[in-house]
């Protein structure tokens, strides 16, 4: 019985020894694999750095598209790309950030055209109105971003939005007076001959009066109130059409679109 037990212990010890040997071999293989990967990484990094300084990938042409208010030379300068730039080593994020720092640039797309050409496509902001602020007049885009100061003799043929303050700027255009004013301008820009965008002189926002509209041809107050801007624009075109047709437009003193549900109140100057 003692002899049998000794043989069993010997066999058991052999299995344990073989298991330890296998783990050691796997550990050695794992370390070797990691060293091999690290070696490839180092070699790859050295090759990348060498190619990043190689004349083979030196940028020879930069194609810039989308400039209207900006210029190609200005965009190229802000990009930081020059004849010494390497297409492979070029930091695309840095180039984009440099160009998007310009107040008229909304977004930038950059594409590498291997091995030596670069394409830059910019999307400029489109002003839809001018907003009057404490420190001057600024162009306003459809997203409610006041992005560039208006300096004479620049184009000022846009509706002017008044009553806004920087510290009261809405975080979200939805359901804000500024958003409703921009929606009204959008409706007016869809081609109506009765109330085109060009006939909007001013949209005053803020206060209990909500939004007050003034026209170019005769600036009497048109009280739009708040909400249902699309419906109010539709009804206002009907009211103005009747005033033009009846030749009572010159006598109008005010129009209240906030008078009641589906009701419009028109006031007239009293005869002297």
Q: Indicate the CATH number for domain 127-268.
A: 3.40.50.11690
User: Residues 165, 195: contact at Cβ < 8 Å?
Assistant: no
Q: Given a cut of 60, is residue 158 above it in pLDDT?
A: yes
Locus of tokens 């009846």: 246
Q: Averaged over 256-262, what is the pLDDT?
A: 82
pLDDT at 254: 96
CA distance 108 to 123: 6
| pLDDT for 45 beyond 60 | no
Q: Which residues pair with 240 in a beta bridge?
A: none
Q: Tell me 156's DSSP state.
A: -
CA dist 152 → 62, 83, 138, 203, 216 (Å): 32, 36, 12, 22, 20
pLDDT tens digit sequence for 173-212: 988 999 999 999 999 999 899 999 999 999 999 777 689 9
Residue that has been written with the tokens 């004849």 in this structure: 83
Q: Are 125 and 139 in contact (CB under 8 A)?
A: yes
Write out the E strands in the chain.
Answer: 61-65, 105-113, 117-124, 127-133, 136-141, 146-149, 160-162, 200-204, 211-215, 222-225, 252-260, 263-268
Structure tokens at 269: 């100057």
How confident is the model over 123-151, as a mean pLDDT?
A: 96
Q: Is residue 66 a contact partner of residue 124, using CB atoms and an 8 Å limit? A: yes
What does the alpha-carbon distance between residue 172 and residue 178 come to, in Å, rounded to a whole number? 10
What pLDDT, on the 0 to 100 scale, is given for residue 7?
A: 47
**Residue 48: per-residue pLDDT:** 44
Encode 100-129: b = buried (16+ Cβ within 10 Å), e = exposed: eebbbbbebebeeeeeeebebebebbebbb
> Rounded to a whole number, what is the distance in angstroms from the first to the last CA of the chain?
135
Least confident of 22-36, 139-153, 173-187: 22-36
According to the model, what pLDDT value does residue 230 have? 93
The DSSP bridge pattern shows strands 252-260 and 211-215 to be unpaired
pLDDT, tens digit (0-9, with 9 covering 90-100), for 110-131: 999 999 999 999 999 999 999 9
* CB proximity list for 255: less than 8 A, separation 6 or greater: 220, 221, 222, 223, 236, 239, 264, 265, 266, 267
Domain 55-124 -> CATH class: alpha beta
């Amino acid at each position: 019985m003692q002899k049998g037990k000794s043989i069993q212990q010997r066999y058991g010890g052999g299995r344990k020894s073989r298991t330890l040997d296998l783990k050691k071999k796997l550990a050695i293989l794992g370390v070797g694999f990691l060293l091999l990967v690290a070696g490839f990484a180092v070699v790859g990094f050295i090759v990348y750095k060498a190619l990043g300084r190689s004349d083979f990938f030196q940028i020879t042409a930069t194609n810039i598209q989308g400039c209207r208010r900006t210029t190609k030379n200005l965009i190229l300068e802000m990009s930081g790309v020059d004849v010494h730039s390497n297409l492979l080593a070029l930091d695309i994020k840095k180039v984009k950030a440099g160009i998007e720092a310009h107040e008229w640039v909304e977004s930038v797309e950059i594409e590498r055209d291997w091995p030596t050409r670069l394409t830059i496509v910019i999307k400029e902001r489109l002003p839809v109105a001018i907003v009057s602020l404490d420190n001057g007049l600024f162009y306003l885009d459809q997203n409610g971003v006041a992005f560039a100061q208006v300096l004479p003799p620049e184009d000022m043929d846009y509706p002017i939005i008044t009553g806004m303050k920087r510290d009261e700027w809405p975080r979200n255009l939805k359901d804000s007076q500024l958003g409703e004013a921009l929606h009204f301008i959008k409706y007016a820009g869809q081609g109506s001959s009765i109330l085109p965008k060009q006939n909007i002189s001013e949209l005053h926002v803020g206060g209990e009066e909500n939004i007050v509209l003034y026209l170019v041809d005769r600036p009497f107050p048109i009280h739009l109130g708040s909400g249902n801007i699309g419906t109010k624009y539709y009804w206002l075109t009907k009211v103005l059409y009747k005033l033009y047709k009846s030749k009572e437009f010159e006598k109008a003193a005010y129009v209240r679109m906030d008078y009641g549900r589906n009701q419009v109140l028109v006031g007239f100057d009293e005869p002297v």
